[in-house]
Structure 1
Amino acid sequence: MHIWVTNSMKLDPNLCILCRGRGWCGLAYCPVIARARATLMVKRRVSSKIIEGSSPPSIFIGRIGYPYVRIGPAAPPLVGDTQVFDYPELWIEKKIEDILEYRWSLITGIKIADVKKPEDKLIDELRLLAMSSKPVDVQIALKKPPRPFMTFSEHEPPQGPRSPLTKMKILGNPSIPRPVEKAHDDTDLPALEAVTYLYESGVPVSHIQKIFSTGAFGVKGRRRLVPTRWSITAVDSILSRKLIKEIKEYDPLNEILVFRYRLHDNLFIAILYPAKWSYEWMEAWWPGSTWNPGLDNVVIEGDYEGYHGRTTYPGIGGCYYASMLATLEYLKRIKRQATAILLREIYPGFKIPVGVWFVRESVRAMFNSPPVLKTDNLDEVMELLDNETKLGSGKWLSSSALLRRIKFTKTIDEFLKRS
């Protein structure tokens, strides 16, 4: 789903006039200020159809019209260290309006390409750009000046102005890490193995996703361009499946651990229960939040899988694998397996989708802090849910398949012990 910035905000102009950026609307950011700042930057610096700037690096591979999709490079009209403009791992402590400004400033040149033919000059240059770990100076020639708009998606970060691409030229020298170069050059290495190899070599997940989308990995003759949103979820899923195999070799936790994290009108709760690996991701959207703009009631959705995994794509979308990856990273770090139940409450102040990176990095941040509860008593977990969440333990218990399973199994075990 994509939302035009002019239609998605639904702000009261009278309130905006009185508020002037002081947060009276209840949003976690001020979209008016963010757009004004970035628009001013674009207008001041873009005086022609030629964009010269430092790409973070940033590239786009679309999905509409597949296998003939829109592709192209993106760069802001400024030269320097622009890495943060397209580096989600650096965004978790940023204000939403700062992130919107980064994305609004990136101008994308668009051209149609066949995903099954990932070998032409433009795609080669995009691939070279994506493989770089540092910003690269580029020149982007457009058919006409870019239109000032932004699109939003639940999968990828917000996309800024774009225009048909005439020509792209790399002016600087891409800085390509040795593991990336090795994975690209090995035409006998399957794409899945290339992804895990780069991850284990310390390449950031967002960088792997970017390279993966350009068809840089895989066996010769089978390489393909991958739409950006598919690439994001594919990499999260590939890495999660790899880590699941590893953590299944560990013993289960010996107590219940509960974690909590609040950010930008979102609440994240993680319950790690001492049992074999299972996973559940649940979201509760309040009226007036991103995906519940018109209803009067809280909408709860989620998906789960047992020890042996799942065979279908989770209906809840890419957040499922983004949160799973962050959870598995923690379990690997402590060398334990667990039944993991992650709950997210999204309140009205969170009005726009910013991509699944927000979930991945929020869950990572949550697990970088100590647990707020260590216990062997499930009732204490229920009490914490009553105190910390707006839904309360009763609603979460009735909505979560794994929470119900744990509570039911615990009740049966206690009954058998008393018998």
Structure 2
Amino acid sequence: MRLDEFIDGLAYDEETRMRQLAKEKSYAITEYLADTERRIDETVQGDSLFGSTSPSIFVGRSGYPQVSAGILAPVGDEQHASEYATSGEWYQRGYTIDDVFQARTGLLNSARPTDVHVADEWNGFTGVRREIAIADRPVDVEVDLDGPPSIDLDVGREDIATPTGPRARATGAQLTENPHVPRAVEKTLSDDDWRADGAMAYLYNRGFDVYDINTILSAGALGRTTNRRLVPTRWSITAVDDTVSQFLRGQLQNASSIDEVEVRYNEYLGNQFWVLLAPGDWEFELVEMKAPGSVWNPDRSEYWLASDREGYEGRTQYVEETAGAYYATRLGVLEHLAERDRQAKVLVLRNVTDDYWGPVGVWQVRESVRNAFSEEMATAETFHDAVRQIVPRLPVGTDALRRKSNMVAGLQTSLSSFITTNEG
């Protein structure tokens, strides 16, 4: 399909509606918090024992290497515990921002201070937490609490990890069933000399998604035994996206290029993504445009632009402006290219509108880009034609985009040089 036809045909269908935030911002979450407090009162027995089914864990970063590390378990909804764990299923179910906040609000974090250097420790609270992380399904647990939970929703302005809800200080925990651990995970645990990056690539190759791997990494269950340590959840998410991406990029170094300029579009939770692939060796750039007056750009009167990029050699330093979104976006693109055994020059344009009123986590970026490749594709004669036709659909003009995007600026330079040469 030609790009102009593709743009004209971007329609508002039922599937899109299910994946978009309603125009009116919803504040039903405040009512849900009150309901959560009531369910906690009914579930917590004497402020000392909490019995539930845990689908995951959470490791904080404040005070590192002494961190708060906890067991996450739904309050009074044990039979649906797996639905509370962050995964690509949230996208497929069409979760709204309210849905994400409600899921996280209903998930009690029973935590205690912990030193991250856990090595091969599998006893006590640390051991229970690690058993939950390596299991392939939610685990029944009992947690001893030191006082009633604190009802609070920690949102902030970071869009990496999902929001956190009620918290309680744990004094101990016990498993009430034997967790089922996949054989591939047992293999990584039993090898005392296996580096974490190799173990991550191995698990990914065995069909584990990044959501499973970052939980295992966060619990300190990957890497050489003596070096194993807890990894704060925010850090583990980006670390796994980065490590798997480097693995995929390495597989494509000798792959052939795609043959034509391809354009895809996807929208979810007030985030609009344009994904442009052009013939050539691997090159990647993410440009983000954030609406003024939003939680992401509260103090400006104009759109705020951020960008990061890498060339064929990849990058070794953490990005400066786009944080975890860069690694999540790049992973989604590389998964698609690896499936085709092709490489390309890639530009992703992310428009963060003011409909995205609360951070739900970088999973929505990853899944939006992953699923962009299952949407209809358009083609353009040249990369310049693709950018020229897309710009009218963006909140910023070509000049602003050129100032922020190396790929667009380089394109402009090439065109100017071409015109000058031919006029000479």
Q: Which residue of 2 aligns with 1:114?
A: 115
Could you tell me how far 1:193 is from its partner in structure 2? 0.5
Which region of structure 1 is more displaced relative to structure 2, 26-35 or 307-316? 26-35
Could you tell me how far 1:174 is from its partner in structure 2? 1.4
1:207-249, Cα deviation, whole Å (9 max, x unpaired) = 1000001111112312111111111111111111111111222
Q: Which residue of 2 aligns with 1:88?
A: 87
Map 1:388-407 to 2 at 5 A.
388-407=393-412
Distance across 1 between alignment mates of 2:137 and 2:210: 15
Q: Are the counterparts in 2 of residues 42 and 105 from structure 1 also a CA contact under 8 Å?
A: no
Map 1:78-227 to 2 at 5 A.
78=76, 79-92=78-91, 93-118=94-119, 119=121, 120-152=123-155, 153-227=158-232
Map 1:249-398 to 2 at 5 A.
249-315=254-320, 316-371=322-377, 373-398=378-403
Alignment equivalent of 2:240, drawn from 230, 235, 240: 235
Q: Are the counterparts in 2 of residues 199 and 205 from structure 1 also a CA contact under 8 Å?
A: yes
Distance across 2 between alignment mates of 1:302 and 1:103: 30
1:150 alignment partner AA: L
Is the alpha carbon distance of 1:411 and 1:272 closer, same or farther for their aligned partners in structure 2, counting shifts above 3 Å?
farther
Alignment equivalent of 2:68, drawn from 51, 67, 70: 70
SS in 2 for 1:221: helix
Is the alpha carbon distance of 1:382 and 1:394 closer, same or farther for their aligned partners in structure 2, counting shifts above 3 Å?
farther
SS in 2 for 1:314: coil
Distance across 2 between alignment mates of 1:177 and 1:392: 51
2:61 alignment partner AA: R
Unaligned runs of 5+ in 1: 1-22
Q: Which residue of 1 aligns with 2:8?
A: none
Q: Are the counterparts in 1 of residues 268 and 364 from structure 2 also a CA contact under 8 Å?
A: no
Calculate percent identity across the aligned residue pairs. Answer: 32
Distance across 1 between alignment mates of 2:97 and 2:300: 25
Distance across 1 between alignment mates of 2:96 and 2:166: 21
Distance across 2 between alignment mates of 1:28 and 1:281: 30
Distance across 2 between alignment mates of 1:105 and 1:362: 25
2:263 alignment partner AA: V
Distance across 2 between alignment mates of 1:332 and 1:48: 54
2:408 alignment partner AA: L
1:339 alignment partner AA: K
Distance across 1 between alignment mates of 2:335 and 2:230: 28
Q: RMSD of aligned C-alpha atoms?
A: 2.2
Could you tell me how far 1:306 is from its partner in structure 2? 1.1
SS in 2 for 1:88: coil
Which region of structure 1 is more displaced relative to structure 2, 262-271 or 382-391? 382-391
2:247 alignment partner AA: K
Could you tell me how far 1:396 is from its partner in structure 2? 2.2
Is the alpha carbon distance of 1:183 and 1:296 closer, same or farther for their aligned partners in structure 2, counting shifts above 3 Å?
same
Is the alpha carbon distance of 1:409 and 1:38 closer, same or farther for their aligned partners in structure 2, counting shifts above 3 Å?
farther
Is the alpha carbon distance of 1:288 and 1:172 closer, same or farther for their aligned partners in structure 2, counting shifts above 3 Å?
farther
Is the alpha carbon distance of 1:396 and 1:174 closer, same or farther for their aligned partners in structure 2, counting shifts above 3 Å?
same
Q: Are the counterparts in 2 of residues 34 and 100 from structure 1 also a CA contact under 8 Å?
A: no
SS in 2 for 1:269: strand
SS in 2 for 1:287: coil
1:122-177, Cα deviation, whole Å (9 max, x unpaired) = 22211111011111111111111111111124221111111111111111221211
Q: Are the counterparts in 1 of residues 118 and 220 from structure 2 also a CA contact under 8 Å?
A: no
Unaligned runs of 5+ in 2: 1-20
TM-score computed with the length of structure 2 as normaliser: 0.87
Which region of structure 1 is more displaced relative to structure 2, 336-345 or 377-386? 377-386
Is the alpha carbon distance of 1:212 and 1:85 closer, same or farther for their aligned partners in structure 2, counting shifts above 3 Å?
same
Distance across 2 between alignment mates of 1:335 and 1:381: 23
Distance across 2 between alignment mates of 1:334 and 1:63: 38
Which region of structure 1 is more displaced relative to structure 2, 32-41 or 380-389? 32-41
Q: Which residue of 2 aligns with 1:18?
A: none
- Relative contact order, higher structure (CA 8 A, sep 6+): 2
Could you tell me how far 1:409 is from its partner in structure 2? 3.1
Distance across 2 between alignment mates of 1:287 and 1:212: 36
1:52 alignment partner AA: G
SS in 1 for 2:403: helix
2:81 alignment partner AA: T
